[in-house]
Structure 1
Amino acid sequence: MALATAFFYTGFLVVAQGLRKRYPALRIMAVLSLWCAAACLAVAILRGENLLPRSVMGWLLLVALALTSQILGQTLMAHAMHFMSLQLGSLFALLQPVAAAVYAYILFFEALTLSQLLGVVVLIVSIYWAKLILGS
C-alpha cells in the first residue's frame, strides 16, 4: 500500500506542477476533489459503508479534517508546485506523516511513542538537510 501511495502521490505532484502553469491551485483542487469524491462515493456505496458520521463529534472531526487536510493542505501543496521543483515538493510531502501524528495526538488523544517522536525528528532533520543540498 505504501508503494501504491507513493506512486499516486508522485502522479499528483507531476500533474499539479504541470497544471499550475495554466490554472490556479484552487481550481485544480476543486476539480480533482470532485472527481475523487465521486470515486470514493461509488466505492463506499458498493461496499455498503455508512456514509454519514453518527455523532456531532464525528461531524466536527470530518469537517476539521476536510478543511485542514484536503482544502488547506492539498491546495497549498498544489499552489507551491508552481514555485518549487518536483524534488523539493516530494521532500515536503514527507511531512504528511508528521501532520498525521500531530492530528492523532490532538484530535484523537493518541499517545506518541518514543520511536514515533524520534521518527519525526529524523524526518524533519532529513528534509532540512536535503533542502540545503537541493536548494530552493
Structure 2
Amino acid sequence: MFTACGSSPKPEAEHEEEALARTEFTDRLENFFEYEPLKAGKPSQFLIHLTDLSDGTPVEKAEVTLITRIKGGSEVMQTKARVGKVTGIYVADVAISDSGIYDIEFLIKNAKLDERLALTDFKVE
C-alpha cells in the first residue's frame, strides 16, 4: 500500500460574496462605486470612482463623506472616505449596526465641485 506525500486536502475557502456596483450622476459628476454586500455590524468597503463630467477628468483632492440614514428617517452615521492610491478613487469603510433598508448620501467637495448625491435602497442584512 502506498501513501501520498504532502499535506492533507485543504477545506474550501469560505465563499466570498461578489461586490455590488452602481453608477449615479449629477449634472457635474459621475459616481461609479463598488461595495461589499452590507451586513449588520460588519464593515463594508466602498470603492468610489469620481469623474468630473465638465472635462472628463478624475476628481482630485476632494472631501468625500457618506451620510447614512435609516430609510425615510434620521441620520445614523457619517463616514469620511480616504483618498485612494489612484487619482479620482476614494475608499470608505461603512459599518451599519442594524439590518434594514438605508439611504446613503454622498457629499463630494473640492476646489471645483460641491455635489450631493442622495441614493436610496441599500439593504443591510
TM-score interval, smaller chain: under 0.3
TM-score by length of 1: 0.26
TM-score by length of 2: 0.27
* Higher RCO (CA < 8 A, seq sep 6+): 1
